[in-house]
Amino acid sequence: MLRLRFPGDVHNTISAVLVLLVGLLLVSAPALAQKTAKPVLHGSHWVAVTGKPLAATAGAMTFTRGGNAVDAACAMLAATSTMWDTLGWGGETQALIYNPHTGEVKGINALGVAPTGATAEYFRDQGMVYPPEYGPLAAVTPGTPGGLMVMLAEYGRLNLKQVLAPAMEMAEGYPIEKVQADNIERRREVLSRWSYSQNVFLPHLDEDQPEQRAAPVAGEVFRQPDLLATLQKLVDAEAAALKAGKSRKEAIYAAYERFYRGDIAQEIVRSSQEHGGLFTMEDLDQWEVYVEDPVTTSYRDIDVYKLTTWVQGPALLQALNILEGFNLKSMGYNSPRYIHTVYQAMNLAFADRDFYYGDPYMPPQEPVTGLLSKEYAALRRKTINMERNDPNTRPGDPYPFQDEENPFLQLLENWSPIPPTADSDGIDGFQQAAVMTDHESFVAGTTSIQAADAEGWVVSVTPSGGWIPAFIAGSTGIGLSQRMQSFVLNEAMNPFNVVQPGQRPRATLTPSIALKDGQPMLAFSVQGGDTQEQNLLQFFLNMVEFGMNVQQAAEARNITSYQMQSSFGAHKAEPGRLQLTPEVSAWARAELDRMGYSVETVARTYSPITAIFFDRENKTMWGGASDYGEDYGVAW
C-alpha cells in the first residue's frame, strides 16, 4: 500500500491530496492504458489478422504468393472454416471491401436463406417457439463458399487453387488446438446423433467405453478427408474451365456452379433430407451472393460503413448518431456517466434493431433512411433519462423521418422488450434442447478477419455459422449453418424477420470500415453474437474520443449490456443487466447500481476485436488483436 505523509496542518494535507487526485484525473486514457498484453503490429506492405494463428499464417502465405488483401482474406476465411473457428464451410459470410481504384466501399452479402417449407406455421406445428438451435432444421443455405468465390472472382488477383491451398493442406491434417479439441468433447452427445458428424469429430468414440474421450486431443493431427475431397472438386472445376480457355474469373464461377448446382449440392440436399432437413436443389440453385452498397454515417468527420439491416450493423451507426450529441470525452473513460450514456444509446439502437431489422430483399421494406436520420437520432437522444436506466426502452418511429407513415403502429404499440418464451406462450418449447448457456449463446458465433495491403485494398469480414456442434452434410465434410434460430415466428416481435422460404434471418455479424477524408482509417470487427456491435462501438470510441492506439483499444475492458433481445436460442432479454470489470472502481459500480443497473463484476468482458489502423502520416499500417483468446496477426 502507498502511504503518503504530508508536513504541516490538516489543511495542507487535504490540499496536497486534492492536488494529487486532480493530477490523476487529468491523466489521459491512453496514458492509463499504455501497457498491452500484445504489441501493435506494424507493416508497410500488408497486414493479416484473424481469430487463429494458423489462419493468420495462411493470410501471410497468400500475400507472399503475390495476392492482394482480398486474396489473403479469402485464404484466412477458408482456413478458419477448416479449423471450425466458431464457423464451418456451410455457414455464412459477410464482408466490407474498400477498393482503392474506385474509392468505394462495397458489401458482400453471402448469408443463406430459409429453405422450401420453412414457415412460421411449420415450426409452430413442431411445437417450437423459435426455430431450433442446431441440426438440419437450423440450417439456412450455405453461404461461405459462394461468398468466398464471389469476393475472389470480383476483387482478387489469384486463382481459387492458390487461395484454397493452405485450407486444403489443413483438411489433409493439422495439429488441433486444445480449445477446439475440448469444445468437440463437450459437444459429443449432440455430435454423436448424426453419423456424418460423428465420423468427422469423434474419431475415438467407443460405445462400449462411454467414459473414454471421443474427440481428438490437443496436438493430434485432425484429418477431414471428405472436406478435402470437396475442396478438390472446386479446384478441379476451376482447372477444367481454365483448360477450356475460360478467364480466371469465369473459372472461379465454374467452381461456384459445381458447389451450388452440381454434385456437391446434390449431396448436401440428400443428406439434409435424410435427417429431416428441408433443403431442395432449387433452394441452392436460386440462392445468390449480393455485392451491395453499405450504409454509412459520419461521426466527428469520420465516415463509418456497415452492412445494412440483414445484420445488426446499422445499430452501431444509430448509436453513434445519438452519442454525437454528447461530450463523451469530458465524462471520462468508463466513468459512471459515460457508461450510462453509452448503455442508453445502445438500448435505443438495439430496440430499433429488435423491431425493424430484417432482410432488405424481402418485403416489408425496412425504414433504413429514417433509422439513420440525424434528426431521428436527436429525437431519440431526448428520451434518455440521464439519472436512471430505463428497462422499458422501446423502438421509436423512424417513418416520419423518411416522409412515410408507419404501417406497424399497432404492433409497435403492443411491443414488449421481453420476448415470448415457452412458458408465456403455452408451448412446450424447442424440439431440440439448447446446447449453450444463455451467456454462451449471447457471445458465441463467429470469427473475424482483417486484411490490408500497400496498394490500398482493405477487407473486413465477420464469417460465421456451422459452428460445433455442426451437422455434417453427408460425404461433403461441410458443416451446415445454424442461423435459422435468428428468425422469429411472431410478427409482434419483429414483422421484418418472420421466417419464410427465401428470406435471410437478421444476423448479428457485422464487419466495419471507417474512412477519414475519403481514405481508409480503420478496418475492425469482432467475434461474438449480440455483443459484437457493443464491442465495436466502444472500441471505436476508445480510439476517436480517448486517443487509444489500435492495440490499446482492442484490449480495453468493455461493458456488456444484456438489455436487447438475444438473437439466439430463446431470444432472452435482461433489461438492466450490466457486466463490467474490476478496472471500474467500486464507487463507480455502486453509482451504477444506484442508477438502476444490475451490476456484475467479471474478470473479463467478451471483446475479441481484430483491427487495422491506417497511419497516413507515415504511410504504414497498425494491426491490433485482442488479448482475449487466440486472435493473431502477421504484418510485413
C-alpha span between 104 and 100 (Å, rounded): 7
CA gap 194, 474 in Å, rounded: 10
Please say if the pLDDT value at position 40 is more than 80. yes
Backbone angles phi, psi at 167, to 5 degrees: -65, -35
State yes or no: pLDDT of 9 exceeds 80.
Answer: no
- Banded pLDDT at 536 (limits 50, 70, 90): very high
Nearest to 450 by CA among 294, 618, 249, 621: 621
Whether the per-residue pLDDT at 85 is higher than 80: the answer is yes
- pLDDT over 90 percentage in the chain: 86
* Residues facing 138 on adjacent strands: none
- 406 in Cβ contact with 399 (< 8 Å): yes
Of the chain, the percentage scoring pLDDT greater than 70 comes to 91
Q: Considering the chain, what is the average pLDDT of its residues?
A: 91
Respond yes or no on whether the N-terminal peptide bond of residue 364 is cis (omega within 30° of 0).
Answer: yes
- Cβ count near 584 (within 10 Å): 20
> Which of 126-130, 304-308, 424-428, 555-559 has the least mean pLDDT?
424-428
Q: How confident is the model at residue 629, as a pLDDT?
A: 81
Residue matched to cell numbers 464491442: 535
What pLDDT does 154 receive?
98
Q: What pLDDT, on the 0 to 100 scale, is given for residue 492?
A: 96
| pLDDT for res 571 | 93
Per-residue pLDDT at 601 exceeds 50: yes
Q: Residue 10: which pLDDT band, with cuts at 50, 70 and 90?
A: very low
CA distance linking residue 525 with residue 312, whole number of Å: 13
pLDDT bracket for residue 446 (50, 70, 90): confident
What is d(CA 290, CA 607) in angstroms, rounded to the nearest whole number? 29
In 3-state terms, what secondary structure has residue 236? helix
The C-alpha cell of 128 is what?
A: 417450437
pLDDT digits (tens, 9 = 90+) for 455-490: 999 999 999 999 999 999 999 999 999 999 999 999
Given a cut of 70, whether residue 13 has pLDDT beyond it is: no
Question: Among 75-79, 200-204, 556-560, which stretch is predicted with the lowest mean pLDDT?
Answer: 556-560
